[in-house]
Copies of this chain bind each other. A is one copy, B any other.
Amino acid sequence: MSDPTVRALRLLSLLQTHQFWSGPELAERLSVSQRTLRRDFDRLRELGYRISAAPGVTGGYRLEASSALPPLLVDEDEAVAIAVGLRTAALHGLTDGEQTSLRALAKLEQVLPRNLRRRVNALQTHTMPAAWGEQPRVAADVLAQLALACRDQERVRFRYTARTGEESSRLVEPHSLVPQGHRWYLIAWDITRDDWRLFRIDRLEDLRRTGVRAQPRQLPTEDAAQFLNSALSATSDRYEMLLRLYMDRDRFEARFRHWGRGAFESQKGVMDWNIQGSTPEELLAYLFWLPEDVEWELHSDDPEVRSAAMRFRDRLDRAFQD
């Protein structure tokens, strides 16, 4: 315990679990003299951490907010909580550039012991689903692993079920993860096909990291979003509908962030949002995300979408029939 490095870490850790600590108490815990403790604090302060101290019986040391973020020392439970939070945030696109949560997640996943990862997965599947129709629910763990692989250009292997239902085994070099309308896609260089491919991550199973690093490759398009768009326009999902929202672009964007990428302002104050999905319920689930004070219209020629909507309406109706 007499190594200054260890002490520095333990000190930061202790300061993070309680706000206030008295000198004698800390000195005793670390088995050093109080003088040395003070010197340790000096060192930390030099490193940019703001540690304030107050004399007197209610005083003590305390780590304050400063510009430098101290290393976060978390225990296992907390790590699990953070991982779950980040995965959820990434899945639902809560942060700025969605890539940020992924980056943080990659850091954590890299060092998350296997048993903790299992706990995270277990928790995640018990999570409230995003909305009514059970929804993707997939692949938060896959997302996390892929984020890590993208960051490190590490080749991965997985089984993939194409839209046609055809299964295949893939070996790819992940390039990036891109969200699009409630879904995540992986853009990767498919090694056996020797070409760029797009994968829906909820169709991806049995992901394995290979441990092999690859050279970075240049995407054929300017950026990942562009690639996604061109690749997506070539295919199409089974169900679709047009949702017209009477709100202006700014508000729409503040509200829907990257989920709303496919939408455009057809007239001033009117956003047209073309929504695709593989089940009718998935489409309808969008409706529950709409703010209450926004007028909307729905257009769909598909009788199945229509009947799913009517089913829910009837259910509501029946509930109040009594």
Interfacial residues, chain A to chain B (CB-CB below 8 A): 3-6, 8-9, 12-13, 16-20, 43, 47, 58, 63-67, 69-82, 84-89, 92, 94-97, 100-101, 103-104, 107-108, 110-114, 123-124, 126-129, 131-134, 148, 151-152, 154, 212-213, 254-255, 257, 281, 287-292, 296-299, 306, 309-310, 312-313, 316-317, 319-320, 322
Chain B residues with Cβ under 8 A from A82's Cβ? 72, 82, 85-86, 104
Beyond A16-B107, A126-B255, A316-B316, 6 extra complex contacts between A and B, CB < 8 Å: A18-B152, A65-B110, A72-B82, A74-B107, A85-B101, A309-B320
Tell me, in angstroms, the Cα distance from A305 to B66 when the chains sit together. Answer: 49
- B65 contacts A128, C-beta separation under 8 Å: no
Contact yes or no, B313 A299, CB < 8 A: no
B-chain residues with CB within 8 Å of residue A257 when the two chains form the complex: 126
Residues on the B chain within 8 Å of A101, using CB: 81, 84-85
Is there contact, CB below 8 Å, between B84 and A89?
yes
Residues in B with CB closer than 8 Å to A213 are 19-20, 58
> Which residues of chain B have C-beta atoms less than 8 A from A128's C-beta?
92, 94, 289
Contact B108 A47 (CB under 8 A): no
Does A84 lie within 8 Å of B80, measured CB to CB? no
**Min CB gap A235→B, angstroms:** 26
Nearest B residue to A8 by beta-carbon distance?
B5
A95 touches B72 (CB 8 A): no
* Chain B neighbourhood of A310, CB < 8 A: 320
Cβ 8 A contact of A290, one of B3, B80, B132: B132
B322 to A312, Cβ gap below 8 A? no
Which residues from chain B contact A63 at a C-beta distance below 8 Å?
110-111
* Min distance, Cβ A287 to any Cβ of chain B, angstroms: 7
29 A-B contacts (beta carbon < 8 Å): A4-B5, A6-B47, A9-B47, A9-B71, A16-B107, A19-B148, A19-B213, A20-B213, A64-B110, A65-B111, A66-B111, A69-B74, A69-B112, A69-B113, A74-B107, A82-B82, A82-B86, A85-B88, A85-B89, A85-B101, A94-B123, A96-B123, A129-B289, A132-B288, A132-B292, A287-B316, A306-B320, A310-B320, A313-B317
